[in-house]
Amino acid sequence: METEKTQTRPTFWSYLGADVEPKAASGPLAAFYFMTGYLDVISFSAIYVWCGFQTGNCAQLGLALARLTEKNPDILPFPLSDRHALTSLLSFVVGGCIVGRLGDHIGTHKRIWLMFATMFQGLLTMAASLTIHASNQASIANGRGLGVWTHPLSFVTVAFMSASLGMQGTLAKRLNTQYSTTIVLSHVWVELASDPKLFDFKHRVGTRDHKLMAFLCLFSGAFVGRSLTKALGASGALGIGCGFRVLISLAWLFVPNKT
C-alpha cells in the first residue's frame, strides 16, 4: 500500500509538466503588460522607436518607402530611425515565430514551457543590456528625431529587446485570456469601449476589469522604465528588467493546474 501511494504521489517534475489554468494566470500576464511598457519606453527614449508596438514601426516603414519616390535631396532616403524600426519589426516577428513553433511542440499551456520561455526572454533582455553597455552611448535623446543610438551594437540591442517582446506576445496569446497578447492595446481599448457592462460598477466584470488592469500595468511599466533609464541609463534599466523577467518566470510556479 505504501509503495502504491509513493508511486501515485505527484512529483515536482510532474507539476512542472502539467498544464496551467489560463484563467488563474492574471499575475504573470499583468506583469507581461508591465514589461511591455518598461521595455518600450527604453527604446523610445533613445531612438523614438517602439520595440513592441509594431503598428507604428510598420507605418514608419511605409512612410520611408513613400519618401523614396519623392526624390527630395534634402531628405535622407532611409535614415537611422527607419533602420531601427525595420530591425525591431523583423526581430519581433522572428521571436514570435520561434516561440509559436516550439510551443506547439512542447505544449503551449505547460508550466515548464511558460517558465522556460519567460526565462529566455530575461536572457535576451540581459543580452540587450550588455550590448548597449558595450556601445558606450547615451540613453535619452535630447530632441525628437535625433536618436542617440547610432553605434552598430544598438541594432543588436533593439533586436534583442524586440525579440523578447515578440516571444512574450505569442506566449500570452496562446493562453487565450482576456489579456490577449499583452503587447497591443489599441484593440483592447476598442473591446473595453464596446463592452456592454463597462459602467456596471455594482458587479465584478472580468472582461472589463482585466483590461483596466492591463492599462494600469503598462502605464506603470512605462513610468518605472523611464525613471530607471534616467537614473541608471539604458544598460542598468535593462539589467533590472532581466530581474523582473526572472521573477515573472518563477511566478508561473504559483499558477494552479488546469482542471
> Phi-psi region for residue 226, left (φ > 0), alpha (ψ -120 to 50) or beta?
alpha
- The torsion angles phi and psi of 110, rounded to 5 degrees, stand at -75, 135
Is the distance from CB of 22 to CB of 206 less than 8 angstroms? no
Query: What is the reported pTM?
Result: 0.89
What is the spatial distance between Cα 203 and Cα 180, in angstroms, rounded to a whole number?
23
Q: pLDDT below 50 — which residues of the chain?
A: 1-2, 4-6
| Whole-number pLDDT of residue 191 | 74
Whether the CA torsion 87, 93, 95, 97 is positive or negative: it is negative
What integer pLDDT is reported at residue 7 of this predicted model?
Answer: 53
At residue 134, the pLDDT reads 95
The pLDDT score that the predictor gives to residue 81 is: 86
Give the whole-angstrom CA distance, residue 46 versus residue 40.
Answer: 10
> Residue 208, CB half-sphere, CA atoms under 13 Å: how many?
13
C-alpha Rg value of the chain to the nearest Å: 20
Compute the distance between CA of residue 212 and CA of residue 203 in angstroms, rounded to an integer. Answer: 15
pLDDT at 1: 46
Check residue 211 and give its pLDDT.
82
